[in-house]
Chain A
Amino acid sequence: MTDQSVSRADSALGCQDLTKSFLGVRAVNGATFEVPRGQITALIGPNGAGKTTVVNILSGLMKSDGGTMHLESTETTNWESEKIARLGLMRTFQLSRELGGLTVLENLLVAPHDQPGEKLFNIFFRPGRVTKAEKAHVERALEVLRTYGLYELRDSRASDLSGGQKKLLEISRAVMAGPKVLLLDEPMAGVNPALIERIGGYILDLKAQGVTVLMVEHNLNVVEKICDHVIVLAEGRTLATGRLSDLRENKEVVSAYLGEVIDASAIS
């Protein structure tokens, strides 16, 4: 099966027939979709649908049991996550994973690839090069922190941040690496409405800079506002892909996911 809604030429990231089981539980069961380049795509579906597992597989954190995947034109099936990251794919985690013993600024400074100061030889024999690169990275990191409203917290221990601040830190750390494709696993979960608004703005800015975004999101208002394309996942399979307005017409989708959400919002 292939995803017909996005041509392979327009796709920045995609997968075919991905499967993954945990001790007999089929978490992913043939997921197939393409993520259109330069757009914001939502990955939605009920709890336990396999969204996080798909993100984990696409970013190389987990190996799939079967199926294939690609990043741009490169086949990345079974690649290590560090290799996938170097191709330009960055991700955030549903439960924030800040580098707790480092400061906020250091969390960002870790991100750039191939820093001269990461090589022993350079540290002792080319200190000028190390300092120069470090200066440039610090400048850029402070700029990113200012953009994301974390500048004042730059010297705080990352583990001391609040939940919302950690969400911002994860996004800014990924941005610091200069990603081409960004996978965001529920970037707005557990965040207050004002910050949801701000994070939405940041994601739109990233799109304007040419970054392809795939975000797992439960809040359909957010999806409606900022996402160009939607992938619905249920029981590990791709149920439908397309625009949210089209999907609302799809009975299967409504009963699997949208229905319960719409009902829930009707009650509240």
Chain B
Amino acid sequence: MSAFWLYVFTLIFFLFDYFILAMGLNIQYGETGILNFAYIGFVAIGAYMTGAVSMPNSVGTGQHYILGLNMPFPFNLLVGGLSAMVVSVLVAFIALRRLRTDYLAMVLISLSLVFYDICNNYVPLFNGADGLYNVPSPLASVLHLTTNSFTVVFALLTGVISLIMWWIMSRITRSPLGRTLRAIRDDDGVAAALGKSVFRYKLTSMMIGSFFAGIGGGLIIQFNTSFNPSAWLPGETFVVFAVIIVGGVSNNIGLLVGSLLVETMLVHLVAFLPAIPGHPGLILNIAAMMIGGLLMVMLWFRPQGIVPEKLRRSPAAVSSVTTPTEYAGIDEGVSHD
């Protein structure tokens, strides 16, 4: 297979993977209003745990890491998702109970920096700055895949997984639970005055979103067969925010469009461009600047994103059951003050 098609399938992988990541951050930020500036930390937990549990015992591998359970796919991936979810519960109890949105955002960003430093420096956990490598490729031996065909199969598999995750997320956001989360996003004081347990719902939203983060992270380490601190600089969180804001908050199609534009085109496509002689890394920096610029343009001219949030109008069935009554005009009810 030509290098071209390998590129294409690598891009396809990141398109679908960031779609999953964007859905996870969107339920927290877009639906519930939680500014989770530590999101990439949950992605990392998913990646490390997925890798660590699928690798053999660390003795004799030349790496240091916890667990080492030889767990097969997709169970290792589920462990990754669930681990991120468990950590989100701890974080929620520390940060989500009392803090206002802006303070919460600061606490979360601090927590992610602390966690980053621990992973980067404390070798026994996930092998420190070297991170995990030689992570077994799922299904490769079962399906007799080469490195190249693995790329294709795993990119497509990630597409299937992202569709399943999409279905799950749509069920949630369309349910009364999703509606209550959006009520909390719009005004948590009103939600509380209506008897909603705001913390419990924020916790639920954190858990669901972190599960998605963990799965997305697990897929990354499986695809790359390695993962280390250079892959999840805390600033990466803002790439996922950019995906959501550019594509459209609270709209799953928008999230897919956002992943295509921001993650696939700006982050990964440019990475394949030949380096400008004498300026290594310049292209990546230009890409980062373009993401920042795109974000500003969007926030200025189209803050609702390319595909804006749809109002959930009453289902057609509802209108047909009911007979419209005379509309008593109340437009006169204008405010005098």
Contacts and interface: CB of A to CB of B under 8 A. Distances in A.
B179 A59 contact: no
Contacts of A61: 189, 192-193
Interface stretch (A45-53, A148-156, A203-211, A258-266): A148-156
B281 interface: no
A191 interface: yes
A191 B313 CA distance: 28
Contacts, number: 150
Given A82-B197, A130-B176, A162 B333 contact: yes
Contacts of A91: 193
B333 A123 contact: no
A99 B196 CA distance: 14
B318 interface: yes
Given A120-B204, A195-B332, A102 B327 contact: no
A117 B333 contact: no
Interface residues of B, number: 46
Contacts of A82: 192-193, 195-198
A33 to B, nearest CB: 21
A102 B31 CA distance: 11
A164 B197 CA distance: 29
B312 interface: yes
A75 B145 CA distance: 68
Interface residues of A, number: 60
A149 B330 contact: yes
A105 B327 CA distance: 15
B312 A111 contact: no
A71 to B, nearest CB: 13
B177 A118 contact: yes
A124 B185 CA distance: 23
A132 interface: no
A102 B181 CA distance: 11
A80 B192 contact: yes
Contacts of B176: 109, 115-118, 130, 133-134
Interface string A165-196: 10110000100010000000000011110110
Nearest to A133: B176
Given A102-B179, A117-B177, A146-B325, A90 B312 contact: no
A87 B194 CA distance: 11
A93 B318 CA distance: 30
B180 interface: yes
Given A124-B171, A155-B311, A168 B325 contact: no
B61 interface: no
A86 B195 contact: yes
Given A149-B330, A168-B330, A142 B322 contact: yes
B273 interface: no
Contact of B190 (A99, A106, A167, A195): A99
B191 interface: yes
A157 interface: yes
A110 interface: yes
B147 interface: no
A190 B336 contact: yes
A34 to B, nearest CB: 22
A99 B311 CA distance: 12
Interface in A56-80: 59-61, 80
Contact of A99 (B183, B318, B321, B327): B183
Given A117-B177, A164-B332, A190-B336, A103 B314 contact: yes
A81 interface: yes
A172 to B, nearest CB: 12
Contacts of A194: 332
Nearest to B196: A82
Interface string A135-153: 0001100100010011110
Contacts of A195: 330, 332-333
B333 A101 contact: no
B190 A103 contact: no
A85 interface: yes
B311 A192 contact: no
A168 to B, nearest CB: 7
B186 A101 contact: yes
B334 interface: yes
Interface string B300-337: 00000000010111100010011011011011111111
Q: Most A CB atoms within 10 A — which of B197, B314, B336, B337?
A: B314
B314 A105 contact: yes
B324 A151 contact: yes
A97 B334 contact: no
B117 interface: no
Contacts of A150: 330
Interface of B: 168, 171-172, 175-177, 179-180, 182-183, 185-187, 189-198, 201, 204, 208, 309, 311-314, 318, 321-322, 324-325, 327-328, 330-337
24 contacts: A81-B192, A82-B195, A85-B193, A85-B195, A101-B186, A101-B309, A103-B312, A103-B313, A106-B182, A110-B191, A115-B180, A117-B176, A117-B177, A118-B175, A123-B172, A124-B171, A152-B324, A155-B311, A162-B331, A164-B331, A167-B333, A190-B337, A195-B330, A198-B330
Closest 8 CB pairs of A and B: A164-B333, A163-B335, A117-B176, A85-B195, A190-B335, A152-B327, A149-B328, A99-B186
